[in-house]
Structure 1
Amino acid sequence: MPVEPPPTAWDLRVSAAEPGEDLVGVGADLEPGTILAAYRAGMFPMGLGDNGTDPMGWWCPDPRGVLLPGGFHASRSLRRSARSMEVRVDTAFADVVRGCAAPQRRGRWITPAVLTAYTRLHELGWAHSVEVWQGPDLVGGLYGLAIGGLFAGESMFHRATDASKVAVWALTDLVFADGDPCRLIDVQWRTRHLATLGVVETSRADYLARLERALLAELPPAFA
């Protein structure tokens, strides 16, 4: 089971955020207790400087992109791609984060400080990777935090066609396996790419209500 770190010294709340305002705070730190408190309050960190450097921003998008039980859509082409791929959990966490942070990626924001912070959370049992392999090669994956029935996805990458989609598909199977309707996958923003997989938008108020229920749900067995 995950190990609870020392509590944060920061006051992390989104009650003062205006509707439609995504950035809700600036500053604080990336200590494990701070990051966990942020996710439990509906926020996540992403730096405001070039390529995610300081100052650190804290985000609670309105609207929010989410995957709900039964919502994932697997196309026929994705099903074909998946046949040649193997999914593993937590066997190459740092490699997945580094794949998501590759310098050639547009809009990259994962800094060495973020890698260190989430590696610490992985060591404590909170951060997890879902990896996609073809033979000996890591060809895609995603990482994020599992807190109760919430999986907060942070980033994903691919080196083979459809590999990141296979990772999302596998994640939905892992999170929603037992049919608990309170479970929730947070993807931060609904992009055109994610919309094809079944990601929908919900208001901040609805997300926070769903989050409250998800945090009370049991941790999926794959992440326990």
Structure 2
Amino acid sequence: MKRSSGVRAAATVVVSALSLALVTGCGGESGGSDAKALSSAELKKALIAEGDVDGYKVSTAEAMKIETPSTLDEKCKPIVQVITGDAPADAAAEAKTMATQEKKPTDTASKSIEDLSEGEFEDAFNESLSVDVTVVGLSSYDGDGAEKAFKSVSDAVKNCAGGFTAGEKSDGGKFTKVAAEKGSGAGDESVAFALTSDLEDGETGQAHAEVVRHGNTVATYYTMNIGALMTGKDYTVPAAVVDAQGAKLK
């Protein structure tokens, strides 16, 4: 990705991905037909909170005002639900929050803007935005509901490989590709994928997601890193967040 157009590219991908949230595997044990869903209170207690993830600030679930937008392709709706932290399929209870990576000061942080060269300023600006922001969602189901919810996402990753549009008549809600990625392998089942959006000047930007089933509870993770998008650096759903959330579901 060309750095000269990084700011415009980042703005475009924010509209195409994070705005949705603000409007924006491996086989394992079965949940069982007699599985009982966690209550809303139990699910909120199981959700990661401030202090649970080293190096990340975790917001409160109550602060998250996220709605799932409509999607023009029903088969891709589970992916949109993952993006917004909402439950894939109908759940008995759900909860969500956001984990934001904490940044350490860089060598240029002590310099005034006037003392920075053009290259140093651009590097410092990009570095300041190189923060993983992950929307985390938990949903719980009765019976085999969690297995069905997980399957709806894994099927959507395959069926929506050519992209989809979320939202009504919005250029900002277009994704051109959905591709499976290597996930954490956590829980009873897991699937990871990347969402690609076309940006300006023929460039592209990616966001990353993972869905993990823990018995009759499904955890979803959706990660954006604007600085990485601007510089073309690789990133993924942070393992620290997945591990911390998985530990609270054991």
- Structure label with greater radius of gyration: 2
Relative to total residues, which structure has the larger helix share, 1 or 2?
2
Q: What TM-score does the superposition give when structure 2 sets the normalisation length?
A: 0.28
Higher relative contact order (CA 8 A, sep 6+): 2
Q: What TM-score does the superposition give when structure 1 sets the normalisation length?
A: 0.30
